[in-house]
Chains A and B, each alone.
Chain A
Amino acid sequence: MGRAASLPPGLLPREETVPAFTPPPLPSDDKRWKIVNGTMRKNGFARHALIETLHTVQSSFGYLDDDSIRFVARSLRVPLSQAYGVVTFYHYFSLKPPGKHTITICAGTACYIKGADKLVAAAEKQLRIPQGQTTKDGKISLMTARCVGACSRAPVVLRDGEVMGEVNSEQVLEQLERWAVE
């Protein structure tokens, strides 16, 4: 006791009674924040709910921006660096808003063997953007996926999440054309 008393205040043993944690207020009155908060509440604002919560943010808002990462990190008492580390570690999380439409070309092994790289090249040429980006007008995002599990119908393309099998370059270009003039 005597030794602790001689330490400067910052090094004193922490008091036993930790004040009850009050999560920060919602960033705005956007209803989607309530959904996000719901996920955290369901998990008792536990730190391990970080990935679950980020999934909810992405499914509600379409992507993760700085404000949402900050909000989630503060609510779950996770260091911001750790939250950001998690967001950038996993491919599924996106830091950029998606376009109005998204074309996802599966780049799994079966699709690669059946020529998915040609589909990517054709789409890149048509949209004049590399994979993983969105056209300047915000209309179309061009993505690749690791594997969507529809390998028996390779090459597979997701048209706004809907699976199309045995796709050729013409079909991809036709679809992009249709979206472009919408």
Chain B
Amino acid sequence: MNIEELEQIAESVRLENAKYDYEVNVCMDLACASQGAGPLRDELLKAAEKSGKKILVRRTGCMGPCSSGPLVRVDPEETLYHHVHANHAEAIVQNLGDGPVPALQCDLNEHFDKQVRVVLENAGQIDPEKIDDYIACDGYKALLSALTEMSPNGVIQQITDSGLRGRGGGGYPTGLKWGTVAKAGGDLKYVICNGDEGDPGAFMDRSVMEGDPHRVIEGMAIAAYAVGASKGYIYVRAEYPIAVARLTAGLRDARRRGLLGNGICGTTFNFDIEIRLGAGAFVCGEETALIASIEGKRGTPKPRPPYPAVSGLWGKPTLINNVETYANIAPIIRKGGKWFASMGSERSKGTKVFALTGKITNTGLVEVPMGIKLREIIEVIGGGVPGGHKFKAVQTGGPSGGCIPAEMLDIGVSYDALVKVGSIMGSGGMIVMDDTSCMVNVARFFIEFCMTESCGKCIPCRAGTAQMFTLLTRICNGGGTIDDLELLEDLCSTVKEASLCGLGQTAPNPVLSTLKYFRNEYIEHIVHKRCPAGVCNIEAAVPQVPTEVLA
């Protein structure tokens, strides 16, 4: 395989597509599929055949606004239809060429106008199971140009110039990480893709792996070339069977096309990837725990240093990046690091994909330039809180993040700004809460999650989260005292300071941020024995013991 051959494949796909007058793209992602996208596609295929028009019905990955699903986009008109059901298929096919079907037309211009798509550029455009579709969208061009025209250091330089930071949540500069692994000695190195999206409420990695698997594979291959690795692993959650199937098929097709394996593109570069399944442990998102899991052991973290960049999988230098980080690599190599750095804010470059969920009108995936105001994401792109309810908080960063109140919505989204308000970027879950959510109960929910997910290796995390859970449960049940708040804060700082890995170090964030911004709700529970949101069942839970006895 060389650049010319790649171009030939792309050309043949374009010629093939040119045979059709219309392209009907059906989103088949999990959310749309659960609303009947499967039968819809069958009906569209039937209707297309019956009509005699030249129509290509294509299955695609997530288009974004899942709450409007099932979604269908008709090209070349670029008409987006929402809430399409199997019985609409006939009408859509009939109207092709005579303008859109007004009843189904979707008005989400504001939702899309504010977005910039880099990672999701192919989402909704290609069939994820066809490697040639990806190649026709400039796929694997970056890999071949890196292999034939750039030195490994040149690749790292581009990544460094781009200012890309780890999209898994930590925000470590990607170029720096690659440089460290490249400098590490030894002839055997590994590249790992962290697809263990354990953060509940986040699903962008799943969408990327399912909707555009080759983008991840290409990113990993470029990374392997840059750092000098010959073997890669994609660690995927077993809970994502479709992602596993798509990646497996993607790897097979890439091998067949000579884009993985020995002597890729006529060079001396050898690289292949294997898939490893996660088994439902949140802590395995931590890099040293993930490595232990790939080695077939319990996923418990190790103290760092040594960092995996020096001593990782089986003691060899290992590069670990998140799915979304790898998904950014190919566009950076194609368009240059400077192009990427031109987007975003001062210290956070490029774009970020967020999974917008919870009490918000337009739930789904959005990709926005860094630095955009939270308010714009929630009120304009997300369409605000539905049902006449009042916005209360947005939770970013999953169980490691914090709750950001309405007063702070004007901050620009970046790694540093979110840390400053007591949350983190995390992998990109963004859960909106309204006045029906009790913040004490939310904090308890997250601590319960961290308590059960704590691997048990270090005591601050194992025992600390359990004690915090007990205290929060007591407050939720109306049995808390004002002193409990101080104790809670004390515990938070101990767990934060003394835990071994990121899970424990960030577990107190939801508690600290709610204590800081929603302290009045804690006080309501403790002093007035009432839950302002009406979530906690206080009366039922208060023990029927006279107060004198308690005192």
B299 within 8 A of A: yes
For A86, give its contact among B239, B296, B395 (CB under 8 Å): B296
Q: How large is the interface on A (under 10, 10 to 19, 20 to 34, 35 or more residues)?
A: 35 or more
A153 touches B66 (CB 8 A): yes
The residues of B that contact A55 with a CB separation of less than 8 Å are 238, 277, 279
B125 within 8 A of A: no
The residues of A that contact B455 with a CB separation of less than 8 Å are 89
**B-contacting residues, A135-175, CB 8 Å:** 145-154, 156, 162-165
A113 touches B433 (CB 8 A): yes
A163 touches B34 (CB 8 A): yes
The residues of B that contact A114 with a CB separation of less than 8 Å are 358-359
B399's nearest neighbour on chain A, judged by CB, is A109
**B-contacting residues, A12-54, CB 8 Å:** 47-52, 54
A151's nearest neighbour on chain B, judged by CB, is B357
B280 touches A91 (CB 8 A): yes
Task: Check A154/B357 contact, CB under 8 A, given A47-B296, A113-B431, A149-B240.
Answer: yes
For B364, give its contact among A47, A86, A152 (CB under 8 Å): A152
B398 touches A109 (CB 8 A): yes
The residues of B that contact A48 with a CB separation of less than 8 Å are 294-296
CA distance A182 to B66 in the complex (A): 34
CA distance A107 to B280 in the complex (A): 13
A85 within 8 A of B: yes
A152 touches B298 (CB 8 A): no
A71 within 8 A of B: no
CA distance A49 to B294 in the complex (A): 8
The residues of A that contact B297 with a CB separation of less than 8 Å are 50, 82, 86
Residue from the set B201, B240, B365, B398 with the largest chain A CB neighbour count within 10 Å: B201
B65 → A minimal CB distance (Å): 8
Instruction: Bits for A100-141, please: 1 = Cβ < 8 Å to B, else 0.
Output: 000000011111111000000000000000000000000000
A151 touches B203 (CB 8 A): yes
B52 → A minimal CB distance (Å): 35
A86 touches B66 (CB 8 A): no
CA distance A82 to B30 in the complex (A): 36
The residues of B that contact A164 with a CB separation of less than 8 Å are 34
For B280, give its contact among A47, A49, A90, A150 (CB under 8 Å): A90
For A109, give its contact among B31, B33, B200, B364 (CB under 8 Å): B200
Task: Check A51/B277 contact, CB under 8 A, given A92-B239, A110-B357, A164-B34.
Answer: yes
CA distance A52 to B202 in the complex (A): 25
A73 → B minimal CB distance (Å): 11
CA distance A145 to B363 in the complex (A): 20
Instruction: Bits for B192-207, please: 1 = Cβ < 8 Å to A, else 0.
Output: 0000011111110010
Instruction: Bits for B232-270, please: 1 = Cβ < 8 Å to A, else 0.
Output: 000000111000000000000000000000000000000
Instruction: Bits for B113-144, please: 1 = Cβ < 8 Å to A, else 0.
Output: 00000000000000000000000000000000
Task: Check A90/B281 contact, CB under 8 A, given A145-B239, A163-B30, A163-B34.
Answer: yes
A93 within 8 A of B: yes
Instruction: Bits for B502-518, please: 1 = Cβ < 8 Å to A, else 0.
Output: 00000000000000000
B437 within 8 A of A: yes
CA distance A49 to B356 in the complex (A): 37
B201 touches A89 (CB 8 A): no
A32 → B minimal CB distance (Å): 18
A96 → B minimal CB distance (Å): 15
The residues of A that contact B316 with a CB separation of less than 8 Å are none
For A165, give its contact among B35, B238, B398 (CB under 8 Å): B35
For B279, give its contact among A91, A107, A152 (CB under 8 Å): A91
B198 touches A85 (CB 8 A): no
A159 → B minimal CB distance (Å): 10
The residues of A that contact B280 with a CB separation of less than 8 Å are 90-93, 146
B362 → A minimal CB distance (Å): 9
**A-contacting residues, B363-383, CB 8 Å:** 363-365
CA distance A106 to B429 in the complex (A): 16
A162's nearest neighbour on chain B, judged by CB, is B34
B298 touches A109 (CB 8 A): no
The residues of B that contact A91 with a CB separation of less than 8 Å are 279-281
B391 within 8 A of A: no
B438 → A minimal CB distance (Å): 11
The residues of B that contact A165 with a CB separation of less than 8 Å are 31, 34-35
B431 touches A109 (CB 8 A): yes
Task: Check A52/B276 contact, CB under 8 A, given A86-B296, A92-B238, A110-B201.
Answer: yes
CA distance A98 to B200 in the complex (A): 24
B298 touches A113 (CB 8 A): no
A113 touches B66 (CB 8 A): no
The residues of B that contact A86 with a CB separation of less than 8 Å are 296-298
B402 → A minimal CB distance (Å): 13
For A151, give its contact among B201, B294, B295, B433 (CB under 8 Å): B201
Q: List 9 A-B contacts (CB under 8 A).
A: A51-B276, A52-B296, A89-B298, A110-B201, A113-B431, A113-B442, A146-B198, A152-B363, A152-B364
Q: Which 4 A-B pairs have the closest CB atoms?
A: A108-B200, A90-B279, A152-B66, A147-B200
Residues of chain B at the chain A interface (Cβ within 8 Å)? 30-31, 33-35, 66-67, 197-203, 206, 238-240, 276-282, 293-299, 355-359, 363-365, 395, 398-399, 429, 431, 433, 437, 442, 445-446, 455
- Apart from A108-B201, A109-B201, A109-B446, 7 more pairs, CB < 8 Å: A47-B296, A48-B296, A55-B238, A89-B455, A113-B431, A145-B239, A151-B202
